[in-house]
Amino acid sequence: MYRLTLAVLVLTGAAPALAADRAPRPVLLKPARVFDGVTARPHDGWVVLVRGERIEAAGPAGDVKVPGDARVIELPHATLLPGLIDAHTHLLLHPYNEASWDDQVLKEPLALRVCRATNHARRVLLSGFTTIRDLGTEGAGYADVGLKQAIEEQIIPGPRLLVVTRAIVATGSYGPRGFAPEVRVHQGAEEADGETLRRVVRDQVGRGADWIKVYADSWNPTKGGSPTFSVDELKLMVETARSAGCPVAAHAMTREGLRRAVLAGVETIEHGDGGDVEVFRLMAKHGVPLCPTLAAGEAMSKYRGWRPGTDPEPPALKSKRATFKEALEAGVTVVNGSDMGVFAHGDGARELELLVDYGMKPAQALRAATSAAARALHLGDRVGAVKPGLLADLVAVEGDPTGDIHALRQVRLVMKGGVLYREPGR
């Protein structure tokens, strides 16, 4: 009864959601074209047949046998693509121009943060992102594990979630900071060092982490950036996590932090701002993708007063543009990861717009948010492409995003696991 009441609330809420039970009838989606997540050119005139939670067929209209009881959804002028993936989000944060990170960690009750996060999850899904890897609760403990469960049990609408729980930092290297040395304040991640790292990794895995997130370096306003964990410490975490079936993602902003993380065997690098050609070549050689978080960098500059179009581009963004180009030239795989939470949830398309603005072709950026992201997240056999047998995580947008990436702003349909959450006219 309780569940039923909540489901009705979702149905009648502000979101145009249709979080009903899975439609028993097959669904035929008829867009103008399909971007399959892999091929650069979209397929004109393709249709996609969904049965239950999976894609049953995809191909030219004449080649797909349509069951007599299929429900047909016409999507004229629209492009159908795999549900988008963001590999770096924070559902439990909200934009820093609303409240500073320190205030969110130290002053906001956990229940408040979780309430906000439910809204965030819905906005993310309805904006076309059907899978996210949430890279740290930033002081909100293990709340991501519960959010994931609430989404899986259809208590709230939201994307598929991969979670990391608290994330791991070296003692004394994170925040909030700036207090008298005698004062201990609640930290935004779990501190550990040396042999203790083994226990902390196991503890986070035991509490529900799908990935382990570590901070390979730290930023101090007076000292600048510096690496934290040794290669041996990072290796210990990677080895412990891997034996429990968990990959490791590393926040790395300094060249040395990047180098150590890659050598230790982490599977994705987050941010990568201080990288150079040599370390990007090392990433490419080891097959370690980069989540560049361009949208977070842009948002931070705006919060500091930058007015795009009026003021010259700030040095931090100029430098990011240059290092991102170096990473591309070095052959690093880029995976869409925005650091959403630093900026508004539901604005995830901004990262793809910036990937294109910083030098990728629209189809490359779309691949970074579909098939490439799915592969990096070990989900390639479930999502990230329009292919028979995969889960029916599908999004339709008005226009053709392979020509104009801004088309991602015009979302017409969102389906996750065969369930429609948004459709034309609803």
Q: Which residues bind Zn ion (CB under 5 A)?
A: 339
Nearer to Zn ion, 33 or 350 (CB): 350
Question: Of the two residues 56 and 134, which places its CB atom closer to Zn ion in the complex?
Answer: 134
User: What's the min distance (Å) between Cβ of 130 and Zn ion?
Assistant: 20
Residue whose CB is less far from Zn ion, 92 or 407: 92
Q: Which is nearer to Zn ion, 338 or 371 (CB)?
A: 338
Q: C-beta of 79: minimal distance to Zn ion in Å?
A: 29
Closest distance between Zn ion and the C-beta of residue 322, in Å?
A: 22
Between residues 47 and 124, which has the closer beta carbon with respect to Zn ion?
124
CB-nearest residue to Zn ion: 339
Q: How far apart are CB 328 and Zn ion at their closest, in Å?
A: 21
To Zn ion, the closest distance from the beta carbon of 399 in angstroms equals: 30
The secondary structure of the chain, three-state, reads CHHHHHHHHHHHCCCCCCCCCCCCCCEEEEEEEECCCCCCCCEECEEEEEECCEEEEEEEHHHCCCCCCCEEEEEEEEEEEECEEEEEECCCCCCCCCCCHHHHHHHCCHHHHHHHHHHHHHHHHHCCEEEEEECCCCCCCCHHHHHHHHHHCCCCCCCEEEECCCCEECCCCCCCCCCCCCCCCCCCCEECCCCHHHHHHHHHHHCCCCCEEEECEEEECCCEEEECCCHHHHHHHHHHHHHCCCCEEEEECCHHHHHHHHHHCCCEEEECCCCCHHHHHHHHHHCCCEECCHHHHHHHHHHCCCCCCCCCCCHHHHHHHHHHHHHHHCCCCECCCCCECCCCCCCCHHHHHHHHHCCCCHHHHHHHCCHHHHHHCCCCCCCCCCCCCCECCEEEEECCCCCCHHHHHCEEEEEECCEEEECCCC
- Report, in Å, the least distance between residue 340 CB and Zn ion: 9
- Select 144 or 398, whichever has its Cβ closest to Zn ion: 144
Nearest approach in angstroms of CB 135 to Zn ion is: 5
Residue number, 339 or 351, with CB nearest to Zn ion: 339
